[in-house]
Structure 1
């Protein structure tokens, strides 16, 4: 879906003629929609239409437009634009991690777009991002520092440590490596992340 700030790659699971309101997932930073696969698969089997976008949060493969602002408020507006562009109504918005914080911004600024909100462990209020990830984000100050940090994260033990994905999920080595690959190898994705 081509939006003003970026083109959003997404997948859809579940019946087109679902009697249930659509479900839109919002992942956190440095992961993509595959984080939600098991949940979306289960909901789709129960008849829900699920939308799994890859937001421009560092693991996306389509760079944002060069002049795009990617502040949390701008990404929240992008979520609204995604919902509008697809003509979705009465959406159930599901978010975790940074995505949960973004969902809170969406319902604050655009409450008419969302019928329900489901939040799992997520950022909120003055803990956006929470410790210890404030340390990691402090290192993400430009394409060079991002590349250096992500080159180090090629080491599985570091990638799966508490400074990587270790506190967040039961890591799958291939999946976590693929989440870091776009920012590690594409300067345009590093620009989006900076």
Structure 2
């Protein structure tokens, strides 16, 4: 009898132990998933917004033969390179850097003659020199390959960089910019004419710095290039244009930048774009009056590994600054992250 009771108790104990282990086993994946999600949430939390004060504080410089190249950097890991428009600088990409730095080492340089880059004496600032400068910058920073994001004249430089150094580009996200059939766009002619006369910096840029509402007017930078009439903000105007009119040398460099765009700097790139295997996504502000929608369709059909064209309604040339969430979402998809 005692033996029977002991056997029964032993069997109950074995069943209870099995049940507890089974429950633990079933619960383990869920617990592990919760831990994984908790761990993932921390590094992917949204960084603090980048205002002008923080932008100035985070600026770095890389010394190259082209001069001291100003750049903003945020994040770590695989690198992404952001190329701004004219007459902007890396501040244009602040919203994208906030959103994408959890997944990439985001690097946004200021082009030669624009922003806070200190150009070496006698240095050319045309697109060919910009390409060479970017290669030197990446080498200085120890970056072998990048995911490239570009806008406006930065998009022209991106196409040249891709065709000349394809091994340096992992993917390309291209927004409103020059194409071989629209380079330079007709809307740039007044700027080029004033640059020839040496008056562009004073007549437009300095006037906009002095009169912010004028800068946001229909005839100003805002009306020409932004969809939201409240843009660019006062701090953005000062950040973009203030350095360009700070001295006569800076004004001369701005004029040199504009004059370098007078010729078709993309002549002959078609073959390189067709042969490219780099995954390329085209995003186009549909209301842009400087680079019209046909340019986006042309580029979509030209790239050998195009991932399609998306038209962004209600958006003009500098929409990436106004709608960084679109840049971030499309970039993550292109990079295979979401």
- Fold in common (TM above 0.5): yes
Q: SS of the residue aligned with 1:42?
A: helix
Q: For the Cα contact (< 8 Å) 1:83–1:113, is it kept in 2?
A: no
- Provide the rounded CA distance (Å) in 2 between the counterparts of 1:182 and 1:11: 16
Higher relative contact order (CA 8 A, sep 6+): 1
Aligned to 2:87: 30
Q: For the Cα contact (< 8 Å) 2:80–2:147, is it kept in 1?
A: yes
- Provide the rounded CA distance (Å) in 2 between the counterparts of 1:155 and 1:129: 28
Q: Which of 166, 183, 189 in structure 1 is aligned with 2:244?
A: 183
Aligned to 1:118: 173
**Residue 105 (structure 2) pairs with residue 49 (structure 1):** yes
Encode CA deviations 1:34-83: one digit per residue, 9 max, x unaligned.
Answer: 110111110113x211011112243x234311110111111111112111
- Provide the rounded CA distance (Å) in 2 between the counterparts of 1:48 and 1:136: 36
Q: For the Cα contact (< 8 Å) 2:151–2:176, is it kept in 1?
A: yes
Q: Which has the larger radius of gyration?
A: 2
- Given the two structures, how large is their TM-score scaled by the length of structure 2? 0.52
Q: For the Cα contact (< 8 Å) 1:3–1:82, is it kept in 2?
A: yes
Q: For the Cα contact (< 8 Å) 1:63–1:188, is it kept in 2?
A: no
Encode CA deviations 1:100-145: one digit per residue, 9 max, x unaligned.
Answer: 1110111112212111111011122142332322222321236555
- Provide the rounded CA distance (Å) in 1 between the counterparts of 2:163 and 2:248: 33
- Given the two structures, how large is their TM-score scaled by the length of structure 1? 0.86
Aligned to 1:158: 214
Q: SS of the residue aligned with 1:25?
A: strand
Counterparts of 1:94-133 in structure 2, within 5 Å, are: 94-133=149-188
- Provide the rounded CA distance (Å) in 1 between the counterparts of 2:197 and 2:113: 14
Q: What is the root-mean-square deviation of aligned Cα atoms in Å?
A: 2.0
Gaps of 5+ in 1: none
Gaps of 5+ in 2: 1-61, 256-338
Question: Runs of at least 4 residues of structure 1 off by over 3 A?
Answer: 142-145
Aligned to 1:167: 224
Q: SS of the residue aligned with 1:127?
A: coil
Structure (1 or 2) with the greater helix fraction: 2
| Closer/same/farther in 2, CA of residues 44 and 67 from structure 1, 3 Å limit | same
